[in-house]
Amino acid sequence: MRMNKITILLLSFQVFAWVSAYSQYTKHIIVFTDKGNNPYSLNRPEEYLSPKALARRARQHLVVDSSDLPVTPDYLNQLRHAGDLTILNVSKWLNQVLVQTSDPSALQNINTLPFIKSVAIAAPRVQKPSKRIVEKITPVKKAARAQGINDYYNYGDMYPQINLHEGAFLHNKGFRGEGMTIAVIDAGFYHYDTNPAFDSIRLNNQVLGTWDFVAGKSSVTEEHLHGMVCLSTIAANRPGILVGTAPKANFYLFRSENVNSEYPVEEQNWVAAAERADSLGVDLITSSLGYNTFDNPALNHTYADMDGKTTIITRGAEWAAKKGIFVTNSAGNSGTDSWHYIMAPSDGEHVLAIGAVNGAGQVAGFSSYGPSFDGRVKPNVASVGSGTVVAGTDGNAVAMSGTSLANPNLAGLIACLWQAFPECTNADIFDAVQKSASQYDHPDDRVGYGIPNMRLAYGLLEKKRALQNAERILNNDYLKVYPVPFQSSFKLLLKPNTSGKAYLSLYNTEGKKVKVKTVVIQEGIIQDILFDGLHQLPGGVYWLQYYDGKNRRMVRLVK
């Protein structure tokens, strides 16, 4: 069919408008339809995952799946041949890439490729300074109560924010972060490499690596101090002045946030950093960043997007959790502004969103409100984010406020808790932290389940460990006696299949009762029943009779 001049002009105008709209944006997120013709195999995961990443999956019984496969290399090559462009970073979980180009024809060519699902603007050519992270510095308030003289650390001014969670309980037991690896994703770690607060992690080579996903370089010390002060709540180690919540942990420091502007490119950077963390085998990701509105209002998120599955960063955080990483994030500081609610990625179902309280446990007015848009409890828990003591640029104590600080303060303690129970999954630790919190039975939209208590969380996990050991000992039976032979006592491990009372009688070889017990039992509930005070019994063979009205068992014992 022959087109007239008006039709040609109209099409030309549409193409010009599309090119013009995109020409002011040089960074774009390109999503692929699939991972077809991928040379990598699920049978050879060692080609794209580190031994530590594979070990974390194996430890938590997680299988390697298609989301672990790298983006199809041929797709990346075809992008490079589409025009003058640079691939800045790649997300295998979301199957997308961040590119930079000022060549309109490159984008037009990319849109004709059969494996392209979508192309979206991510950041403009010029990113003008706007809002960004501002922390209010206030005088440090001395602790109202001195710490215990038997504590392993002399926490100095950081004691109240650790004591609120009974964090010293873990440190005193020897759990101070050794062997745990934490990725801190933030806006920069200004001069952490010369700050006296971080002498310990530098001298002991606890910083395992750094990368700036904004500028594409290895150094992260030149930019904003936000990441540095967040890191100090975990890693500072100046006894009597500043001691953080996991000073013996290892760290990767990643910059994903450009504080001069706000665009979706930063969400993509965050996911790329999280994938780097996964491939390196980290245990925890702690991030004090949040996204809701952008410098271009057309790109803004809405509260409806805070549903745990919509934004780029939340989807990435959820993937990280699926890979066995414990993800914590600040809830946001919008409690008194028009946004009001939590921000992405704290809306993620498996992201521990942390709100802010002061050292006395009172909620901070600025702390963002929950719930998530789909009605889940958010924030999940709270930590000290009002008047939090952090390291200043000179390594001495200063006080700042924000959920940004509440988040890493608790994240460090979670690392220590997981260190104590390495057999647990990230979900096990998540559950214990929430159940230990001060208002677990009546959560609200301000601090969620409340303020976690590390002593209580430790106790919950200790019971879980004992239960798992008991299941292993029973090995599908309902009754086992141990040890055999016994000396002055033995235990009856019991998982009854009925409820009521059970009658236990210990007989010698002459048929004489030498010990009796009556216990209340509940179907399916494991009990460990102690028979002690038997040191006076002569050596020999004994019989323990068990009867619960339904089951009867005789067990042979030897002293």
Which of 72, 99, 124 is the endpoint of a domain? Answer: 124
What's the rounded mean pLDDT across residues 18-41? 82
Task: Identify whether residues 264 and 312 lie together within a single domain.
Answer: yes
Q: What is the CATH number of the domain that holds 313?
A: 3.40.50.200
Task: Identify whether residues 421 and 309 lie together within a single domain.
Answer: yes
Residue 15 lies in a domain: no
Q: What is the CA radius of gyration of the chain?
A: 29
Mean pLDDT lowest among 82-96, 313-327, 413-427, 463-477: 463-477
Rounded to whole angstroms, the Cα distance separating 391 from 197 reads: 6
What is the residue-averaged pLDDT of the chain?
91
Q: Per-residue pLDDT for 3 more than 50?
A: no
Quickly count: other Cβ atoms within 10 Å of residue 17's Cβ: 10
Residue 49 pLDDT: 92
Q: What secondary structure letter does DSSP report for 448?
A: B
Q: What secondary structure letter does DSSP report for 92?
A: T
Assign 273 to helix, strand or coil. Answer: helix
What's the rounded mean pLDDT across residues 184-205? 96
Task: Identify whether residues 515 and 402 lie together within a single domain.
Answer: no
Q: What is the CATH number of the domain that holds 106?
A: 3.30.70.80
Task: Identify whether residues 118 and 142 lie together within a single domain.
Answer: no
Task: Identify whether residues 179 and 199 lie together within a single domain.
Answer: yes
Residue 473 lies in a domain: no
Task: Identify whether residues 401 and 293 lie together within a single domain.
Answer: yes
Task: Identify whether residues 50 and 99 lie together within a single domain.
Answer: yes
Task: Identify whether residues 237 and 289 lie together within a single domain.
Answer: yes
Task: Identify whether residues 306 and 240 lie together within a single domain.
Answer: yes
Task: Identify whether residues 293 and 435 lie together within a single domain.
Answer: yes
Q: What is the CATH number of the domain that holds 527?
A: 2.60.40.1930
Domain of residue 91: give its range: 23-36+45-124
Task: Identify whether residues 182 and 330 lie together within a single domain.
Answer: yes
Residue 437 lies in a domain: yes
Q: Per-residue pLDDT for 12 more than 70?
A: no
Task: Identify whether residues 233 and 93 lie together within a single domain.
Answer: no
What's the rounded mean pLDDT across residues 409-415? 98
Residue 82 lies in a domain: yes
Which residues are CB-neighbours of 388 under 8 A, at least 6 positions away?
161, 233, 399, 400, 401, 402, 405, 406, 409
User: What six digits make up the tokens of 547?
Assistant: 């009867």
Residue 141 pLDDT: 66
Rounded to whole angstroms, the Cα distance separating 89 from 29 reads: 10
Domain count, the chain: 3
Which of 467, 501, 516 is the endpoint of a domain? Answer: 467
Residue 8 lies in a domain: no
Per-residue pLDDT of 136-153, as tens digits, reads 556 566 655 566 778 899
Residue 160 lies in a domain: yes
Three-state secondary structure readout of 211-240: EECCCCECCCCCCCCHHHHHHHHHHCEECC
Residue 104 pLDDT: 87
Which of 84, 101, 124 is the endpoint of a domain? Answer: 124
CB burial of residue 503 (10 Å; 0-12, 13-18, 19+): middle
Mean pLDDT lowest among 147-156, 205-214, 222-231, 532-541: 147-156
Q: What's the Cα-to-Cα distance from 13 to each of 7, 16, 21, 145, 333, rounded to whole Å?
A: 10, 5, 12, 72, 44
What's the rounded mean pLDDT across residues 209-224? 94
350/125: higher pLDDT:
350
Residue 447 lies in a domain: yes
Residue 4 lies in a domain: no
What's the rounded mean pLDDT across residues 403-415? 98
Per-residue pLDDT of 295-306, as tens digits, reads 999 999 999 999
